[in-house]
Amino acid sequence: MSTDPSRQGPADPARRWHDMGGDLAGPVPGEEHDFALWEKRVDALVILSGLKGVFTVDGLRRVLEDMGPEAFETMTYYERWVAALNQNHLERGTYTVAELGAKMEEVRARGATYGEAADAT
Site for other proteins in 14-73 (CB under 8 A): 14-16, 18-45, 47-49, 52, 54-56, 58-59, 61-62, 64-65, 72
Q: Which is nearer to other proteins, 10 or 32 (CB)?
A: 32
**Max CA separation in the chain (angstroms):** 50
Q: Which is nearer to other proteins, 70 or 99 (CB)?
A: 99
Does position 11 interact with other proteins (CB under 8 A)? The reply is no
Distance separating alpha carbons of residues 92 and 62, to the nearest angstrom = 14
In whole angstroms, how close is the CB of 7 to other proteins at the nearest point? 9
Burial degree of 46 (CB within 10 A; 0-12, 13-18, 19+): buried
In whole angstroms, how close is the CB of 9 to other proteins at the nearest point? 17
In whole angstroms, how close is the CB of 6 to other proteins at the nearest point? 11
Does position 84 interact with other proteins (CB under 8 A)? The reply is no
Inter-residue contact 4 to 39 (CB < 8 Å): no
Does position 107 interact with other proteins (CB under 8 A)? The reply is yes
Number of residues that bind other proteins (CB under 8 A): 78
CA angle 88/91/96 to nearest 5° reads 105
Classify 73 as helix, strand or coil. helix
